[in-house]
Structure 1
Amino acid sequence: MKYKALIFDIDNTLVNTLDMNMIPLQKIIQEEKGEEWTLEEVYHFASYPGMKVMEELEVQDPKEVYARWVKYVNEYQASPYEGMDDVLKTLHEKLRFSVVSSKNKKQYDIDVVSLGLDDYMEVVVLEDDTSKHKPDPEPLLLLLLCIERLGLNKEDVIYIGDAYSDLLASRNAGIDFAFAKWGSVESKDMSDSDYILEKVEDLLRLL
């Protein structure tokens, strides 16, 4: 078996949070800028950390606006992709699972713990754990340090994500990458991925 552990991104990889995040962002843009953006237009921000979105939108009070966006998002409920739970159960019999995400702990609890997916995860690295974020490799390097303490090396793990920033972070950290195409709105070229996974069940190819 090539890999011993899978490292998952969360948004649009483990759980479908795209519209849950983007529809409230449409509302924020309308409130703050008086502009009506289509979903396709706000999808541009799908892989950005929250405060980076505020910076790009040049809102007057980023912390307050971000908090309001989070409030709107929390009125929705994330859901696992169809078949995800069954695939995780199958893979978990042979592989270890971890998470690296730009989410904070509160959002992780809402989007992952509430769905029971946290039960599969041995190690979790979130926004709160690092001072730098994707595509900087620091989050992955911290997670790799944890995995190394479990007796694993870089070649034993693969990162699974939906965005170009995930691919860059993997390359910077020196580990393999699988592109989770089922939830992605990425427009950049992802052909450099070690695996391109069209549907959730394709995760089983990593065994």
Structure 2
Amino acid sequence: MQEKILEMLQLQNQLNNDTNGPEWRKDVTKNDKVINWKRCIYMECAELIDSFSWKHWKNIDSGIDTENIKIELVDIWHFVMSYLLKFHTPTELVIFIENLVDTKSDIKIPKEWTSENNKNINEYLDVFEELMALALVKNDSEPYQESLTEQFFRACDASGLNFDDLYRLYIGKNVLNQFRQDHGYKEGVYKKVWNKKEDNEVMQEILSKNSDIDYQTLYNKLSEIYKKEVK
């Protein structure tokens, strides 16, 4: 587990260096754009919550998108790690994270949603809203960093996202994020829809066929599909 944690931290550190420049720990990009990692966290939490049919005026029986919940958690993990890496090196964070990975939640999101579950939606959303609330706190102390990270893993447990799946999906999303940057994401020329499928979905399909695929092979496969299917 320690090796996988370190690998994720190192990949995130490198992605931040490549995407934002060497001063990103000072909360500014190479283009003088302000970075706020905690804002990224609570905005991604809002996107995750939209995976539930929480709106009382719209699609009240549409259920939940369990796979998208997991993808949103992986997105949040990018930002949690980035926030922690502002204050610590990857090596320093390994034991810190390992000690929190097994945090459990009293809330368990149903795999199969029924109309009865709608009555308890506030309870199911609480674990994510608590993470959102923590991300809004103006505090950077080490106890706070621990609380934020612990709540993230509590949200993972509630969603049925175990560490191995978090690692696998993180590697996949990290490759996709790098691929996006290399193909004009910041410039606005990158196409997120590939032959009527979002790139996230394409990446997940590749992983589902080969869960042990390595970083470079996945990148090459994405490149091959992108060239062929994106016009």
| TM-score bracket for the superposition, by shorter chain length | under 0.3
Whose helix proportion is higher, 1 or 2?
A: 2
Q: Which has the higher contact order (CA 8 A, sep 6+)?
A: 1
Structure 2 length as normaliser, TM-score? 0.25
